[in-house]
Structure 1
Amino acid sequence: MIMDDDKQEGYEKEDNVDIFSKAVRAGKRTYFFDVKATKGDDYYLTITESKKRVGKDGRFFYDKHKIFLYKEDFDKFADGLQEVVDYIKNTQGSPELYYRIDDDQEMLAVAEGEMANGFASFNFDDLDKK
């Protein structure tokens, strides 16, 4: 597994072939899971976290972080991820989800404490309460 913002030595962007992509919007962040192939048709995964930021000049930009994950590391990575997710859930429980409408008028589920200022929030469980 290699972390890099733009490229990894030996895997120039123009050499990569995109095979499959999945975007997951999660609050203020978007995660991209991209299956790519090397020239030798060997698959690997890139995981990119993208977060919209405001620069000092007031313009928006996207702060991105990327992880390269190779198939020989998939099982160990998945096992480690599952172990720490289970630990957090067992120690602190699952977060209560709230919902907000984003700038593109899409409804997003966000954990308690991640609510952006200026957005109304509600919990669907509260709709049944009178």
Structure 2
Amino acid sequence: MYFDETDNTAATERGSDDVFSKPIRAGKRTYFFDVKATKGNDYYITITESKRKMDFGGRATYDKHKIFLYKEDFEKFAQGLEEVIEYIRNLAPETKEEQGNDFSNVDFDEL
């Protein structure tokens, strides 16, 4: 599961427990989808974007941004996310055929 010192402290103070974590690596960014439980066995999701950067000393540092998504908002959030993803796909549709047409079909017997 995804942890850092500040998250552990905050989780302990809120009384939440980590239930499940799904990291998604995307270049210099990693997204963490974490399911957490409260003391009352209510569940919520934290979505964390972690972006690796190098400081002046050459050490890796991380910028982190976090969203808390509560159970009562799951459906609206999922609908909104799907709507904006579909909107982007309609703006610039890509198909496997288009991606595969970067190369010419060459018959070497004809050369």
Q: Scaled by the length of structure 1, what TM-score is found?
A: 0.63
Pick closer, same or farther for the CA change 1:66–1:89 going to 2, 3 Å: same
What residue ranges of structure 1 are gaps of 5+ in the alignment? 1-5, 97-122
Q: Which has the higher contact order (CA 8 A, sep 6+)?
A: 1
SS, match of residue 12 in structure 1: helix
- In the alignment of these two chains, the number of paired residues is 95
Which ranges of structure 2 fall in alignment gaps of 5 or more residues?
A: 1-5, 107-111
| Moved segments of 4+, more than 6 Å | none
Please give the alpha-carbon distance, in whole angstroms, between the structure 1 residues aligned to 2:82 and 2:21: 22
**1:18-29 alignment runs, 5 A limit:** 18-29=18-29
Larger radius of gyration: 2
Residue 95 of structure 1: how far off its partner (Å):
9.0
How far residue 60 of structure 1 moved from its aligned partner, in angstroms, is 0.8
Structure 1 residue 33, shift from structure 2 partner = 0.5
For 1:38 and 1:83, the matched residues in 2 are separated by 30
Q: Could you tell me the TM-score, scaled by structure 2's length?
A: 0.72
RMSD of aligned residue pairs (Cα, Å):
2.7
Percent of aligned positions with the same letter in both sequences? Answer: 59
Bigger fraction of residues in helix: 2
- Could you tell me which amino acid in structure 1 is paired with residue 87 of structure 2? Y
